[in-house]
């Protein structure tokens, strides 16, 4: 690339932080910078914990991920009247307007509890989730794969729950069934509601309210919850990341051979997707 006379190198890759003389990206970037080429690289997705930033060489512009002033609200209306904020996009056959659906937490449906709470492949009992909206915890398998698991088991919708580590940042996915993502605190509120309903021997219900695209969101930009944080583990006196750039829920081009959920069973096709 340097020999071709390029002006900018942008790298969306990273890895473990090692001394600069062992870091292939740092070494290559040093040579490019010496030729007057601007080199930027991603900070990584290890946040929100500290000391997770990668690509920390002083001659590299290290870029974290930030939000923009647009989001995709998809709130959860609970049977007790509370509305919990969420985010999601879905353009298929939706939930019936005005109808409340039975709501269950996947982790309370038998089995080992752990696998079902994460909605892993084969972990859900169809008798437990059929016709219901299912609350699934994030982790292990992909977010879109969880929706596929719920759909295979007969669920009509999914609420994807952030854990403590994920915080309140909401990542939007184009799921294969009506679905929304909620932050960690809202996920706890939904679990408390389902637990309370179980203890009182009543049925928890919910629906998902898709509200399209909302513009002018404030504050913006905000550092994305997953964006890696400093301080710089290799050279603490040099602050990293250097900056943030749009990196959450971005409208982008999409390959025409892959469904927007990014899983083999998704036969939908689109030119653009939210990433």
Nearest to 104 by CA among 141, 150, 146: 150
Residue 136 maps to a domain: yes
In whole angstroms, give the CA distance from residue 39 to residue 29.
6
Q: In terms of domains, do 99 and 55 share one?
A: no
In whole angstroms, give the CA distance from residue 155 to residue 179.
11
For 130-218, strand residue ranges (E) read 133-137, 157-161, 179-182, 205-210, 214-215
In whole angstroms, give the CA distance from residue 103 to residue 80.
12
Supply the CATH number for residue 138's domain.
3.50.30.30
Q: In terms of domains, do 121 and 25 share one?
A: no
Rounded mean pLDDT of 222-233?
93
Q: In terms of domains, do 83 and 210 share one?
A: yes
In whole angstroms, give the CA distance from residue 176 to residue 223.
28
Residue 259 maps to a domain: no
Q: In terms of domains, do 211 and 226 share one?
A: no
Reported confidence tier of residue 231, pLDDT bands at 50, 70, 90: very high
pLDDT reported for residue 110 = 64
Q: Which structural domain, as residue segments, surrounds residue 49? A: 1-67+217-248
Residue 271 maps to a domain: no
Mean of pLDDT over the chain: 91
Q: In terms of domains, do 198 and 103 share one?
A: yes
Residue 191 maps to a domain: yes
Nearest to 47 by CA among 263, 237, 222: 222
In whole angstroms, give the CA distance from residue 148 to residue 248.
23
The pLDDT tens digits for 125-159 are 899 999 999 999 998 899 999 999 999 999 999 99
Q: In terms of domains, do 60 and 92 share one?
A: no
Q: In terms of domains, do 110 and 240 share one?
A: no
Q: Is the pLDDT confidence value at 109 over 80?
A: no
The predicted model scores a pTM of 0.86
Which structure tokens are listed for 149? Answer: 């698991």
DSSP annotation of 186 reads H
Reported confidence tier of residue 214, pLDDT bands at 50, 70, 90: very high
Nearest to 193 by CA among 81, 41, 73, 49: 81
Q: How many domains, in total, are found in the chain?
A: 2
């Amino acid at each position: 690339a340097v020999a071709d006379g390029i002006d900018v190198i942008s790298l969306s890759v990273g890895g473990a932080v090692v001394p600069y003389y062992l870091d292939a990206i740092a070494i290559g970037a040093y040579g490019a910078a010496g030729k007057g080429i601007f080199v930027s690289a991603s900070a990584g997705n290890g946040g929100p914990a500290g000391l997770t930033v990668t690509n920390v060489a002083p001659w590299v512009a290290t870029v974290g991920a930030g939000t923009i002033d647009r989001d995709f609200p998809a709130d959860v209306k609970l049977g007790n009247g509370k509305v919990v904020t969420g985010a999601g996009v879905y353009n298929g056959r939706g939930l019936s307007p005005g109808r409340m659906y039975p709501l269950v937490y996947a982790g309370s449906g038998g089995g080992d509890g752990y696998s079902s709470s994460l909605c892993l492949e084969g972990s859900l009992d169809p008798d437990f989730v059929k016709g219901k909206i299912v609350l699934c915890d994030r982790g292990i398998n992909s977010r879109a794969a969880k929706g596929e698991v719920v759909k295979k088991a007969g669920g009509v919708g999914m609420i994807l729950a952030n854990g403590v580590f994920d915080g309140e940042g909401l990542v939007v996915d184009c799921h294969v069934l009506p679905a929304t993502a909620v932050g960690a605190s809202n996920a706890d509120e939904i679990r408390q509601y389902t637990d309370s309903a179980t203890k009182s021997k009543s049925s928890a219900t919910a629906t998902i309210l898709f509200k399209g695209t909302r513009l002018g969101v404030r504050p913006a930009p905000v550092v994305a919850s997953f964006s890696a944080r400093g301080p710089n583990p290799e050279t603490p006196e040099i602050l990293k990341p250097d900056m943030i750039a749009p990196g959450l829920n971005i409208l982008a081009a999409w390959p025409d051979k892959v469904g927007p959920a990014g899983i083999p069973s998704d036969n939908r096709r689109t030119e653009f997707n939210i990433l």
